[in-house]
């Protein structure tokens, strides 16, 4: 059982590092990602930077093992919104076949990360969303 714990911690740390790197990319290069944001999203660069900050905060939460349950649920909810509002929209409205395939790959990738985030949240049973001594 101890080996499983080591492997699962490694997987969570790996996701945390990837989220932090993604967050840094989102914040430092928002214009490169703006092409994926639908025109209906006002102030798209601001949304990209907010998502970048959220990725960094979730990554730090996972690395420090603080507020893991809460941040994992926030990550899953954010990815669900991104799946529906951006990737599904891009998939349905893509003109070129390669852009349609890229949107599908992004949709599947974010769905997998969302599933992993939900698994992490479910496994963080020792962490609660509130502070009470009786918990």
Q: Which two tokens stand for residue 57?
A: 């905060």
Q: Which carries the bigger pLDDT value, residue 20 or residue 8?
A: 20
- pLDDT at residue number 127: 64
Q: Where are the domains of the chain?
A: 2-123
pTM: 0.83
For residue range 17-53, what is the model confidence (pLDDT) as tens digits? 999 999 999 999 988 888 778 777 777 788 899 999 9
Q: Give the chain's largest Cα–Cα span.
A: 57
- pLDDT at residue number 71: 95
Return d(Cα 84, Cα 62) in angstroms, integer. Answer: 25
């Amino acid at each position: 059982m101890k080996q499983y714990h080591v492997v699962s911690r490694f997987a969570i740390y790996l996701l945390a590092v990837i989220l932090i790197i993604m967050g840094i990319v989102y914040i430092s290069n928002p214009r490169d990602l703006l092409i994926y944001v639908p025109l209906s999203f006002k102030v798209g660069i601001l949304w990209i930077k907010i998502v970048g900050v959220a990725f960094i905060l979730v990554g730090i939460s996972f690395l420090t093992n603080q507020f893991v349950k809460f941040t994992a649920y926030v990550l899953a909810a954010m990815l669900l919104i991104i799946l529906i509002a951006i990737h599904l929209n891009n998939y349905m409205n893509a003109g070129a076949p390669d852009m349609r395939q890229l949107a599908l790959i992004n949709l599947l990738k974010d769905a997998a990360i969302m599933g992993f985030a939900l698994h992490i949240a479910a496994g963080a049973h020792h962490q609660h969303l509130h502070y009470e001594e009786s918990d």
